[in-house]
Chains A and B, each alone.
Chain A
Amino acid sequence: MKKFNIKKDVERRFLMLSVLKGLSFGVLSWRLFDLQVIENKKYDKLSKDNQFNFSLVVPERGEIYDRKGRVLAANRDAFSLYIKSSENLNIDQILFKLMSITNLNEDDINDFKIRYRDLYKNNVNIFMTDNLSQRDISKIAVRLHEFPEVNFLMTKKRVYPQGAITGHLIGYTGKLTEKDLQKNKNLINFSNLRIGKYGLEKFFDKKLRGEFGRRRQEVNARGKIITSNLYEKPNPGKNLNISIDLNIQSYALSRLQNIKSNKLEYNEPETGSVIVMDVNTGELLCCVSSPNFNPNIFSRGIKSREWKTLINNKKAPLLNRAVSGLYPPGSTIKMAVALAALESGVIGYDSKFFCNGVKEYGDMKFHCWHKYGHGNINLSQAIERSCDVFFYELGLKVGIEKIGSMLKKLGLSANINLELNELRRGLVPSKKWKLEVKGTSWTPGETINASIGQGYMLSNPIELTTMVARIANSEMSIEPTLLSNKKQKFSKLDINKNHLTYIKSAMSNVVNNEFGTAYKSKLKNKNIKMAGKTGTVQVIRISEEEREKGIVKNKDREWNKRDHALFVGYAPLDNPKYSICVIVEHGGSGSTTAAPIARDVISKLLI
């Protein structure tokens, strides 16, 4: 009886345990169903992440050509030095040995040491430098058996065959930095990637860079690569054809840097810029800034000493004066003031003002450059001889607002979409601007100053070139561009044709009439004529006392206290093709320094 009970008991307990077993098997099956069917996608991705490493394949950077197909920026094959890391490598000894036979850049070595410290445990090839000369490479290659950890890899290196001639325009590329990544979220963090840092390289960086390809590597748990193949082809960067004509560019640069006069004291190149624009398309044929720099030093990795010299140079060779140099435009805007006056009808073509050399307004005296005055002259003569007093009177009649809107219509301080990030906008002051920025109201004396392009007014050479191009074109609001074949659409230039014709003939007189300020710079070829306007910009105030003692001549002043020399113009006279702007910082007067350069560059273009 008792035994039977035990048996029964045992079987009941057995069934209980069997239910437990069944449940357990059920739970296991469910768990596997959950992992393998429901959550499959998640784990499949994790598994692929384990299995594959994707490395980026850098696309070849697009090349840059001038308007005639001459190479301005290209890629050259170069060797990169890599060091294969491992846990027990005496890296300092290897570096010491490498340094003893080659000229390794110190910055490269320091960068490498940081990379090495971060990566050496992964047993990978760590980038060292791509700045070795052919000599150094062959030195290492010969002794490669002494450096079993050293590998060479073919890479591309950016080269600028024209060097400093197009330095400011083309710019340069540099290593991707943390700052770049913060600024541009779309950039892929890839060490060794070089991105545009200046000039066109920067502006068109995305287009020139192309798109990364991907290499897929199967790696095992210890990080060893099992297979490797190209998964996505890189998309090479697009080439760029720019509007610059290398011939003109190099001629203008050498002409600017080798001004004959005043060369005794200064051996440094002149500072300034020369811009030539096609007045029908807006294309820039030449855009020169001096002093300049050779962008190739950035390609090979600039040494800190070189960088310091560039940065500490007082003449700022890294500055592209043609687009970011801001100057008071001086007399070069007299055409704009005249047009504002004609458009508003305050004077006619034959209205005259009397210039006795000084304009007194209240207790202030405003002098003309001509100490004894120009006498009774009309508008055309005033432009031709650049009479200041005439424009003082005119400015007071027209008012600053109308002058300002005409200047903006002609491109000064306007939205210019030039393809350079370095572009800095000029300043055309107004009553509103004065009140907002200076906090005081506009005075007539400031209008007097503004009507000869002094005072608060600032403009960059590109704006001045655009202004002349619009006057010369007379039809359209020409916009400058650095691209060839951009096929821009311009809006109409809404200025009375007769007024423009009148102003253009006055500009012609500046160069071609014997009283003109730039008469000495008329083209030597009699069939082609140039029109223009000179400008001499004071950089220091001359007090009445100094004026009475007699003004100190430019060449006797310190360099940075001399006047800026400006010239704007266009040619040929009858069927304008090119507008030009020449600025020589502290170069003296516009007629003696800037106009001859313009004459020579235009001659080079047209003759």
Chain B
Amino acid sequence: MLSYKNKFYKPDGILKKLLKIDWFLLFLVLIICIIGFGALYSAGDGNLNPWALNHLYKIIMGFLIVFILSQFKINFIVKFSVIFYLFCVLCLIYVIYFGVGDVKRWIDLKYFFFQPSELTKVSVILLLAKFFTDYPTNSSNLLYNLFAMLLVLFPGFLIINQPDLGTGSMLIILGFSIIFLNGLSLNVIFSMIIVSLISLPIIWQNLLDYQKYRILVFLNPELDTLGKGYQIMQSKIAIGSGGIFGKGYLAGSQSRLDFLPEKHTDFVFTLISEEMGFIGSLLVIILYLLINLILMREFLKEENLTNKILIFGVSFLIFLYVIFNIGMVSGLIPVVGAPLPFISNGGTSLITIFIGIGIIQSIRVSRNV
């Protein structure tokens, strides 16, 4: 324990460290990535382009990030959390003025579009882990918790303002779950719920008509039969028509005939469900469940609070992505635009999740060197 305190990085121990990596977890991740590759190959009508090959490159980059992060001591990584957080927040402010895309969500980095809102998720996990361990005051202290909430809400509202309700609310749910985990008093939670319930009608009354309409469409996409309602209906048709065994690989009529919207990103799960049936969709869910179980074991094994929070944060992030995505495409929750981890052909989101996996590996490797 004492020996590594001053040495965050030891270049001569690469092999030793690589052996300590949780290879089973990486194996599961690889399987999901391969499923994603296959799905994107199908989304391109049986072509490597435009998505499958691109996805392969990103996966390789992701695994490199995991290996690189595993070489760093976790404490060293946590040290940068404040800078990382500030960087993300600055980027979020930057996109307000210089963002590209119709909703000002991305920063054009010439070779790819960078989406700071995704990266903010990891930075919030790191920052909260640092905050709660650096200032371990009474966890039920209200002001203390309010400050933590502010750290979450500030970038959260910046993102919602883009507007990206999905990513923003996911960030806020993630941050609040960590605050809850750290021991926010139940009284505070209940009173917060009551306050927000009371204020809801007041907020609703002060909204403009088009804002109300947007929220109504958000809650019930079928109101918008040509836009989101159409997407969700087609998505449900694709999933439902898959049946138990699916229509067969490369034979999904809904995706092949372009009835599926964004079949390579947010709606990629639909394509898998259509072509591989209930068996295929259940397999994907079980794989995510397995990853969560591994991280759960990791959490319980861990003694250090910082690391506990980090492990929880990463596992909850993956969980939220899955729930948001599959819940959305199957019509359980409103259309929020969330990618499916390791499968959707996203850019920054994919890297974000790999950074999370990298942090887990760093914790493992750091544990008993």
Contacts and interface: CB of A to CB of B under 8 A. Distances in A.
Interface of A: 3, 6-7, 9-11, 13-14, 17-18, 21, 24-25, 27-29, 31-33, 35-37, 39-40, 42-44, 46-48, 50-51, 218-222, 226
A40 B322 CA distance: 23
Contact of A42 (B240, B242, B278, B330): B240
B259 interface: yes
B254 interface: yes
A215 B6 CA distance: 77
| 10 tightest A-B CB contacts, nearest first | A43-B240, A47-B241, A220-B257, A36-B278, A221-B258, A51-B253, A35-B240, A43-B241, A44-B241, A46-B237
B87 interface: no
A9 B140 CA distance: 11
22 contacts: A10-B305, A13-B180, A13-B181, A17-B312, A17-B316, A24-B323, A27-B332, A28-B327, A31-B330, A31-B332, A33-B278, A40-B240, A44-B241, A47-B238, A47-B240, A47-B254, A50-B237, A50-B254, A50-B259, A51-B257, A218-B253, A226-B257
A29 B278 CA distance: 9
Interface string B270-294: 0001000110011001001100100
Contacts of B244: 36-37, 40
A3 B308 CA distance: 14
A39 B273 CA distance: 14
A32 to B, nearest CB: 5
Interface residues of B, number: 47
B353 interface: no
Contacts of B183: 6, 9-10, 13
A32 B238 contact: no
Interface in B293-336: 296, 299-300, 303, 305, 308, 312, 316, 319, 322-323, 326-327, 330, 332
Given A14-B312, A33-B278, A43 B237 contact: yes
Contacts of A221: 234, 257-259
B182 interface: yes
Given A13-B180, A51-B257, 16 more contacts: A10-B182, A10-B183, A14-B299, A21-B292, A21-B316, A25-B292, A32-B273, A32-B282, A36-B244, A37-B243, A40-B240, A43-B237, A50-B237, A220-B256, A221-B234, A221-B257
B327 A35 contact: no
B323 A28 contact: yes
Contacts of B319: 21, 24
Contacts of A35: 236, 239-240, 330
B136 interface: yes
B162 interface: no
A529 to B, nearest CB: 79
Given A10-B181, A10-B182, A47 B237 contact: yes
A372 B183 CA distance: 133
Contacts of A14: 181, 299, 308, 312
A33 B332 CA distance: 13
A31 to B, nearest CB: 5
Contacts of B258: 220-222
Interface of B: 136, 139, 177, 180-183, 234, 236-244, 253-254, 256-259, 273, 277-278, 281-282, 285, 288-289, 292, 296, 299-300, 303, 305, 308, 312, 316, 319, 322-323, 326-327, 330, 332
Is the contact region of chain A dominated by helix, strand, or loop, or is it mixed?
Answer: helix
Nearest to A9: B183
Contacts of A11: 300
Contacts, number: 125
Output the residue of A9, A17, A51, A222 with the most chain B CB within 10 A.
A17
Contacts of B139: 6, 9
Contacts of A21: 292, 316, 319
A467 B215 CA distance: 82
A32 B239 contact: yes
Contacts of A40: 240-244
B257 A43 contact: no
Contacts of A220: 256-259
A13 B322 CA distance: 21
B46 to A, nearest CB: 15
Point out which of A9, A28, A31, A40 has the most chain B C-beta atoms below 10 A from its C-beta: A28
Contacts of B299: 14
A463 B90 CA distance: 101
A40 B237 CA distance: 9
Contacts of B289: 25
A18 B296 contact: yes
Contacts of A28: 285, 322-323, 326-327, 330, 332
A37 B278 CA distance: 7
A7 B299 CA distance: 11
Nearest to A40: B243
Contact of B281 (A3, A18, A24, A32): A32
B240 A44 contact: yes
Nearest to B239: A35
A550 to B, nearest CB: 86
B312 A39 contact: no
Given A13-B180, A14-B312, A50-B259, A29 B282 contact: yes
A471 to B, nearest CB: 72
B21 to A, nearest CB: 23
Nearest to B323: A24
A236 to B, nearest CB: 33
Residue from B244, B273, B330 with most neighbouring chain A CB atoms (10 Å): B330
B42 to A, nearest CB: 16
A35 B239 CA distance: 7
